[in-house]
Amino acid sequence: MLAKQFGTVEVYWGGSLAEQIEFLAKGIADLILSKDNIMEAMMAESTQNYMPLIGYPSYTAFFISSREKPKIEKAYFLDKKIGLVDYPTSRSGHILPKQVFKQLDIDVSALSIVYASSHSALRDLLSKGEVDIIASYWQEHDQQRFSKNYITPIADNVSGSKWYIKMSDENTDLACSLQNSVNDVVNDMQSNYFSSLKHYWQCMTPPYGFIEVKNDEA
C-alpha cells in the first residue's frame, strides 16, 4: 500500500522545535512523531487533519545519579552539575526538571546546567562523570551502567509521543499499512517500554485477525 501511494519517501531525522512547528503548521509531513502538547498548541488535528496512528505508553520521569539517590531539595541542586536535554519540548529531560526547580524556588540561572543533544548523550555525560545528575526516563539496559537505587521520580504517568498521519481523505488502507509498519519497527527494538503500544486504527492483518486496540491512554 505504501508503494502504491508513494513513489518516493523523504525522511527528516531530528530537527529543532521550530522545524517541527513549521511541518505541522504547513502540513508538510504525511507522517510525523510528535507530542500531545505540541499538536494541541498548533491545533494540527483540526487544521491539518493529523490523526494518531500509534501512541507510546506513559512513563515516569526521573532524576538519575551515578553516585547517590538524588534529593528533591533546593540545597541539593545548588552545588551539582545537572544534565538536561537541549530540546524544550522534552518533558522528562527539560520541562519537568525545570518545573521542579521552579517549585523549589531555584533560579535556573544559578544552577550549573549542561545541555546535551539527546537522552543518550545525557547518559554518556553521567557515566563519564561530567555531570552529577541527569533528568530522563529509565530504561532496562540503564542498569548496565547505573543503579536503580540512585533514581528519584520527578513525575508519573507522563504521556508518551504519538505517530500522526495526515488524513485529508478516509484513506484507511494507508493508515493501516503505516500502523503495521511502525508497529513492526518498534517491536524489533525488544524493549518492555513498547509492549503496551496503543493502536488507534482497528485493521485487518493478513491473512485474518485484527490488530489489538488497547484502551489505556498513552
209, part of any domain: no
In a domain? residue 216:
no
Average pLDDT in the 17-24 region? 79
pLDDT of 5 = 60
Q: Is residue 40 in some structural domain? A: yes
Select the highest-mean-pLDDT range: 24-28, 133-137, 172-176: 133-137
User: Is the four-CA dihedral 112, 118, 119, 121 of positive or negative sign?
Assistant: negative
Report the pLDDT value the prediction gives residue 214, as an integer from 0 to 100.
Answer: 40
Q: Answer whether residue 217 is part of any domain.
A: no
Range of the domain at 14: 2-57+160-199
Is the pLDDT confidence value at 7 over 80? Answer: no
Do the domain assignments include residue 28?
yes
Domain identity same for 98 and 131 = yes
Sort 94 into a burial class: Cβ within 10 Å, 0-12 / 13-18 / 19+.
Answer: middle
- Supply the CATH number for residue 147's domain: 3.40.190.10
Judgement on whether residues 126 and 166 belong to the same structural domain of the protein: no
End-to-end, the C-alpha distance of the chain in Å comes to 27
* 154 and 165, same domain (yes or no): no
Higher pLDDT: 121 or 202? It is 121
Asked whether residue 74 is assigned to any structural domain, the reply reads yes
Among the listed residues 164, 154, 135, 181, the one whose alpha carbon sits nearest the alpha carbon of residue 36: 164
Residues 178 and 107 in one domain: no
- pLDDT tens string 61-120: 999 999 999 999 999 999 999 999 998 878 899 999 999 999 999 999 999 999 999 899
Q: What CA–CA distance (Å, rounded) separates 61 from 155?
A: 5
Average pLDDT, the chain: 83
On whether both 75 and 151 belong to a single domain, the answer is: yes
> 128 pLDDT band (50/70/90 cuts)?
very high
pLDDT tens-digit series, residues 37-62: 888 888 888 888 898 888 888 899 99
Same domain, yes or no, for 82 and 25?
no
209: pLDDT strictly greater than 50? no
Q: Is the per-residue pLDDT at 210 higher than 50? A: no
Over residues 131-156, the mean pLDDT reads 94
Domain total of the chain: 2
User: pLDDT tens across 148-183, in order?
Assistant: 999 999 999 888 888 898 887 777 888 888 888 877
- Give the integer Cα–Cα distance in Å for 66 and 51: 40
